[in-house]
Structure 1
Amino acid sequence: MDPLAPLLELSEVADALENARANVDRMLWHEALRSGDELVATEVALHSASATLALDGYDCDVERLRDRDFDDPVVSGVLRVSEALPGLAAVWAISPRFVLAKLHLLATRDFRDAGSGFEPGRIEVDQSGSMRINALCALITNPTKEIPAAMAAAVVHGELLAVQPFPVANNVIARAAARLALASKGLDPKLLITVDAGHLERQPEYVGAQRAWSTGTPDGVRSWLKHYGKALEAGAAETLQICTELMKDVG
């Protein structure tokens, strides 16, 4: 039995995750994705980078990212991470620790003022944190089919936010790793869900649910998992909007 399977018994969690999956399935049938999804994926990467920056207090819209109109190392790092995800999706289920280090290196390699002991890509946690990271990696590399992909992604996201394995950029890494979990579990294999925009749309809930997850209580865990389902729905709706706009441009 999957150790996460009991979480599906929490009130409203299974329904929230199933609703999210149904909305994603509908999104994937959009006409813009039938003739080729490369352009959509490129736009999703930009929108996701803009949203994750906004969640961390940075104002850098999609057009500025598209035009490379910025000189902030944080912005550069987030865009590198977003653009690198397709090449890391296949590695995630095999070597998540390597991928986490790679994501952190991409996010922070231009940081010049993080301190003399700062080493991009190095996980720095206490014994308790190390045990949780080890347990998380074991869940990723030894998957079962008993839990939805959305739950797997939510657990990855929540645990990385709770453990804070790096000195900086943990929020960026957690959101990116969760997207890789969605890809590797088959819900979003081509990284087309703009899930970070879904978190941004529900930002107060996102922040509160993060804290709730960290408590480890059934109510806290339920709050986070329900939020994740709603964020996926909102992210799928954002992708549909991107598809609609691209169809207008083509037409």
Structure 2
Amino acid sequence: MGTTADPLAVLGSLPGVADSVAFVRKAVDQAYGHRVMRRRSDEVASEAALRGARGSAALAGADWALEEIRRRSDFSVDGESRTVGAALRLTAESGQLLGVWRQSPLQALARLHLVAAGGTAPDETVGRPRLAGEPVDEPLLQAAEFPLPESSEVVARLDGLADLLLAGSDAPALVVAAVVHGELLSLRPFGAYNGPLARAAQRVVLVGSGLDPKSICPAEVGHAELGRAEYLKALRGYVSGTPEGMAAWIAHCGQAVGLGVRESVAVCEALQRGAA
């Protein structure tokens, strides 16, 4: 990312990124400007959380219908139900971690992993970066044969990411959120649930930045709608570290936010009609 004091801001100047940032800003403004948001924003946020969790779980291999998630109360029966449960818990927890995130991003990530694991992982592995030789259960990236960074690289890059976040940046929220998402997804710092955790961290950044303060723009919906193939293609761009690849990943994340906004605007319209 260069040697500038604000490397994230450099990413904001890559070709096409300004257009993605403007697109997202316009889309988010449209959602917040809907008349339903004046009195029923909590309902929209609750629905956005549910749909976002469904989208995140779908990307992680548990593509359940929304009504099935509404109906179920037990999310510990099998692998898919645990994935859905983890996504639901992460989405709920992400809104409670803004203060911790601002003070200590690594502590917030540890908390997110604890919440995601929900008692399904060995206690000694929960909430800490994986050690050398420890396995990683991340089927989506394993099937796509993404290289798994060594544990020493994981620790160094997590520390570097935390330093960047704590230093602050003039980069747009979309850029910061995309970098956090891409870095966590490519590093896979924990033994499991890295994908849902990375998407929850993206949500934390978008909310905490003030771009989406009420958390009504579920990017996870958009990532799922764009599909696994496009998700992995864009992530390969991020992993490449090239300007073109980084810009493509940021643009992909922007598209996902835009589709999430579209989903919430549809929820607003349904509430206005009395259909939801």
Out of 171, 193, 197, the position equivalent to 1:173 is 197
Letter in 1 for 2:204: L
Normalising by structure 1, what TM-score?
0.92
The 3-state SS of whatever aligns with 2:274 is helix
Q: How does 1:188-203 map to 2 (within 5 A)?
A: 188-203=212-227
- When structure 1 is superposed on structure 2, of 82-91 and 172-181 the one drifting more is 82-91
Tell me how far 1:117 sits from its aligned partner.
7.5
Q: How many residues align?
A: 247
Conserved 8 A contact 2:87-2:116: yes
Tell me how far 1:73 sits from its aligned partner.
2.2
Letter in 1 for 2:267: I
Distance 2:268 2:187 in 1: 36
Distance 2:99 2:34 in 1: 25
Say if 2:213 is the partner of 1:162. Answer: no
The 3-state SS of whatever aligns with 1:4 is helix
Letter in 2 for 1:120: V
- When structure 1 is superposed on structure 2, of 209-218 and 152-161 the one drifting more is 209-218
Structure 2 gap ranges (5+):
76-80, 132-150
Q: Tell me the residue number matched to 1:224.
A: 249
Q: Tell me the residue number matched to 1:64.
A: 68
Sequence identity (%): 37
Tell me how far 1:228 sits from its aligned partner.
1.2
Distance 2:268 2:103 in 1: 32
Distance 1:140 1:36 in 2: 33
1:158-206 deviations in Å (ceiling 9; x for gaps): 1101111101110000000010011111101121101101111112322
Q: Tell me the residue number matched to 1:214.
A: 239
- When structure 1 is superposed on structure 2, of 198-207 and 157-166 the one drifting more is 198-207
Say if 2:38 is the partner of 1:31. Answer: no
Conserved 8 A contact 1:77-1:110: no
Conserved 8 A contact 2:86-2:118: yes
Normalising by structure 2, what TM-score?
0.84
- When structure 1 is superposed on structure 2, of 234-243 and 167-176 the one drifting more is 234-243
Distance 2:128 2:274 in 1: 43
Q: Tell me the residue number matched to 1:148.
A: 172
Conserved 8 A contact 1:46-1:79: yes
Say if 2:15 is the partner of 1:4. Answer: no
Tell me how far 1:250 sits from its aligned partner.
6.5
Say if 2:230 is the partner of 1:205. Answer: yes
Q: Tell me the residue number matched to 1:85.
A: 94
Query: Where do 4+ consecutive residues of structure 1 move more than 3 Å?
Result: none
Conserved 8 A contact 2:238-2:245: yes
